[in-house]
A and B are shown apart, each in its own frame.
Chain A
Amino acid sequence: MSQQTSVLYDVPGPRQRRITLISSLVAGVVLLLGAYFLIYQPLDDKGQFSMELWGPLVDPSNENFSLVWDRIGLGFKNTLTAAALAIVASLVVGTLLAVLRIQLKSLTRRRFTGLATPLAYLLRGLSLLLSAVTRVCVEVFRGLPVVLTIFFVARGFPEFGVSFDNLWYLVIGLTVYNSVVIAEILRSGMEGLPGGQAEAAAAIGLSPAQTTRMILLPQAFRIMLPALISQLVVVLKDTSLGFIISYEETLNIGKQIIGVLGNPIQVYVVIAVLFIAVNYSLSKLAQYLQRRLARGRKTAGIPALNPPPAALMSQAEGAGGN
């Protein structure tokens, strides 16, 4: 990235270096002053730095310390449980959905020659209908906010006499949304592959299903790996929506702690740091993989693959979810 942006300006000469240094110093001083007067002082004025508020979170000798961290640990464990289940479920459902949509699409192009004409028309109509139905489902579930999916699952299921633990409402809600997104990522990955891949598979006599399973899907997973990992970050972030159905994840526990200790800013800072640490490392992993894959592709000598559509990539980069 730094390589890319530095194209905008020349390698600095002595004068430019001096200007940069001076403006860096000025900017640094202005930023420090701004941080002091706009952030530190208002917080200090309200006594937000007192040990009374921070103690239970950072001071091991505080009587509440172990209690608070036990609770936060439990919340974090619950967050990870929900995230892991949702990730596995949405990967499985998403893969199936992507394969289904690809298969249906190739089915709509088939003419069913050799069958009786009415039967051929019926099959053709059916495949068109199914293809349209899956398309509409994808559009609808992708267009709905995740919060509402979770909310609808939690409100809707009990109405029909099916009730689970809160964990499962959260997992189902997250899966409904994310499996659709993952399906779209994988589908565009498969469609972005060079046409020769599928043609070669057909030439050696593989059936369309075999082609998808053995040729297209593995490659789609590989190109789309960074996008998939970014989507997993989204799932992890979205588990925090569990608070609306009072699932005991990190944020909900934080709310309980605040209810007892009355230190909202401090608790949220700690929770935010936890989330940022985990998600930041995951995004770094995605970046690392992207670089490695880009390198591997060049050496493997596979002709340039179409880049995945920008819309999908950026959606997968975390703007898609919560």
Chain B
Amino acid sequence: MNVLIDKFDVFAGGFWLTLQICVLAAIGALILGAVVAVLRISPVPPLRAVGTGYVNVFRNMPLTVVMFFAAFGLPALGSNADFLRIPGVDALFTRLGTDLPYFRFALIALVLYTAAFVCEALRSGVNAVPAGQAEAARSIGLTFGQNLRYVVLPQSWKASVVPLGSVIIAMIKNSALAGFFGVVGDLSATADQLTGAEGYAFIPVAIGISIGYLIMTVPLGALLDRIEKRQAVAR
């Protein structure tokens, strides 16, 4: 059990890095997912096709393949994802700016993969709005944009909070994969490092790492349960 105390800073550092990956990837995935969702409900067929294609491709591909693409395909194309070094943001999240590109590759993979699920969560919210609402909006002459802005989206937001939350929880768990793709020092890489190379006893390390992830996932899940129960009552 000593490893938990001796290496507390390693565990804490791993937790901090995983949290950074999750925050950045969540922001990216929410933005990209919203864009894809807009594409999927737009009245223009080619845009809808692009959105549908995107979702089908990324939802049916293992994240591992996306990660491999990012970590080995991008370098083969001569890119090291420098465009993610947005001035200001990389000062806040120092790992974005360091020369090690794997942090950025992992982010790209997580964002691309999660965005497909975010899109579906948002769309399920739109679908949950009773058809009569949209019909009523159209019958008083609102255009497509007005309909979305004033009638459908405000209501769909409520219905999509819970699925969005479970997508984010899944993403936090998925971020563990980054440690096996060259991101040094996040929680899962820490587990590998401590039990493998440094030869610490397995169980305490496993407990420490698990606590790190559970701190992020369990409270969020409990919060979602509460929101869902309240919504069920409100309905």
Contacts and interface: CB of A to CB of B under 8 A. Distances in A.
B46 A9 contact: no
A20 to B, nearest CB: 6
For chain A, which range describes its interface: under 10, 10 to 19, 20 to 34, or 35 or more residues? 35 or more
A20 B166 contact: no
B77 A10 contact: no
A272 B218 CA distance: 32
B63 to A, nearest CB: 5
A1 B65 contact: no
B47 interface: yes
Contacts of A23: 44
A211 B197 CA distance: 53
Given A10-B138, A265-B73, A148 B44 contact: no
Interface string B56-100: 110111111100110011001110000000000000000000000
A139 B167 contact: no
B62 A240 contact: yes
Interface in B134-172: 134-135, 138, 144, 147-148, 152, 159, 162-163, 165-167, 169-171
Contacts of B196: 155
Contacts of A5: 40-41, 123, 126-127
A283 B64 CA distance: 19
Interface in A268-289: 268, 271-272, 275-276, 278-280, 283
A144 interface: yes
A145 B138 contact: no
B213 interface: yes
A249 to B, nearest CB: 10
A14 B56 CA distance: 32
B199 to A, nearest CB: 11
Given A46-B77, A237-B63, A311-B162, 16 more contacts: A7-B131, A7-B134, A9-B43, A27-B44, A145-B174, A145-B175, A155-B196, A155-B206, A159-B202, A243-B64, A255-B68, A265-B73, A272-B65, A276-B60, A310-B159, A315-B166
B-side interface mostly: helix
A251 interface: yes
9 contacts: A20-B45, A145-B174, A240-B65, A244-B180, A272-B69, A276-B60, A279-B61, A283-B59, A311-B224
A144 B56 CA distance: 26
Contacts of A156: 202-203, 206
A48 B76 CA distance: 9
B214 interface: yes
Interface in A45-79: 46, 48
Interface of B: 40-41, 43-47, 50, 56-57, 59-65, 68-69, 72-73, 76-78, 114, 117, 120-121, 123-124, 126-127, 131, 134-135, 138, 144, 147-148, 152, 159, 162-163, 165-167, 169-171, 173-177, 180, 188, 191-192, 195-196, 202-203, 206, 209-210, 213-214, 217-218, 221, 224-225, 228
Contacts of A12: 43
Contacts of A276: 56-57, 60-61
A320 B60 contact: no
Given A148-B210, A238-B62, A315-B166, A322 B177 contact: yes
Interface string A307-322: 0011101110111111
Contacts, number: 196
Contacts of A280: 56, 60
B76 A264 contact: yes
B131 A147 contact: no
Given A7-B135, A311-B228, A148 B76 contact: no
Contact of A275 (B61, B144, B195): B61
Contact of A139 (B138, B173, B203, B218): B218
A62 B134 CA distance: 57
A151 interface: yes
A144 B64 contact: no
Given A265-B77, A275-B65, A148 B191 contact: yes
